Amino acid sequence: MTFWQLISFGENGWGRLLLMGTGMTLALAVGGFLLGALIGTLGAWSKIAGNRPLRFVAECYTTVTRGIPDLLIIFLLYFGGSSALTLLASLFGHNGFIGFPGYIAGVIAVGIASGAQQTEVFRGAFYAVAKGEIEAAKACGMPTLLRLRRIIIPLLLRHAIPALGNVWQLVLKASALVSVTGVAELLTQSQTGAGSTGKPFDFYMAAAMIYLVISMFSGWLMRRAEAHYSRGVRR
């Protein structure tokens, strides 16, 4: 079979399974990125406006998380979560091993890893906002929530989006590590196809092309978002 026959949607093609793997990869990446954004927002707020214990916790989180591999975080969550579920079930009389869902473990692990990066991105973007713009909003009598929605968040995103684009690319690549938990994402489907057909180069090349297409489309979206939040700014 030729390369295009292998990745086609025909009777003997693997296109449908590769498409399913691509969907799972996107679900992992988007879920992990959004969770990381939530964690990053809380972490940045703790470092900027929190009290000393909160700042200490946030600093420990970013230091430890950025200092260990993403794969180790996945292992800790997956096997640690499985052990915790098995122990909890044994208290209710259940005998046997209970595995932690691989998808949930992957999203949480990717979210925790990217959250440390996004914490620093949001913190740096906040300090890049000119204090005079925030003080002008206060002088106009804007309430806190309105000032946050109309002034602080748009200005913060203007500085944060380029770095968030880099974090997204890291999250997209980190989603391939979740294959160790048995989740049928793109890399897992490619490995299955390579083992079944004996053509590993074709399947891994197809996976590389799909990752590249996702990356290029994501970059285009980030550039559009950056242009949107940079309206009125002299280049």
**Residue-averaged pLDDT of the chain:** 90
What CATH class has 20-185?
A: mainly alpha
- pLDDT digits 0-9 by tens, 98-147: 888 989 999 999 999 999 999 999 999 999 888 888 888 888 888 888 88
- CA triple 97-103-109, angle to 5 deg: 95
Indicate whether 67 pLDDT > 70: yes
**Closest by CA position to 189, among listed 8, 29, 25:** 25
> pTM for the whole thing?
0.90
Other residues' Cβ atoms within 10 Å of the Cβ of residue 234: 4
- pLDDT digits 0-9 by tens, 134-151: 888 888 888 888 888 888
Q: How much is the average pLDDT of 57-71?
A: 93
Indicate whether 196 pLDDT > 90: no
pLDDT of residue 235: 62
Q: How much is the average pLDDT of 153-163?
A: 90
Indicate whether 24 pLDDT > 90: yes
Among 78-87, 98-107, 145-154, 226-235, the minimum mean pLDDT is found in 226-235
Among 62-66, 94-98, 118-122, the minimum mean pLDDT is found in 94-98
Q: CA-CA distance, 213 to 230, in Å (whole number)?
A: 26
Q: Report whether 160 contacts 128 (CB < 8 A).
A: no
Domain ranges within the chain, ordered by starting residue: 20-185
Other residues' Cβ atoms within 10 Å of the Cβ of residue 47: 21
pLDDT of residue 4: 85
Q: CA-CA distance, 200 to 101, in Å (whole number)?
A: 28
Q: Check residues 208 and 230 and name the one with the higher pLDDT.
A: 208
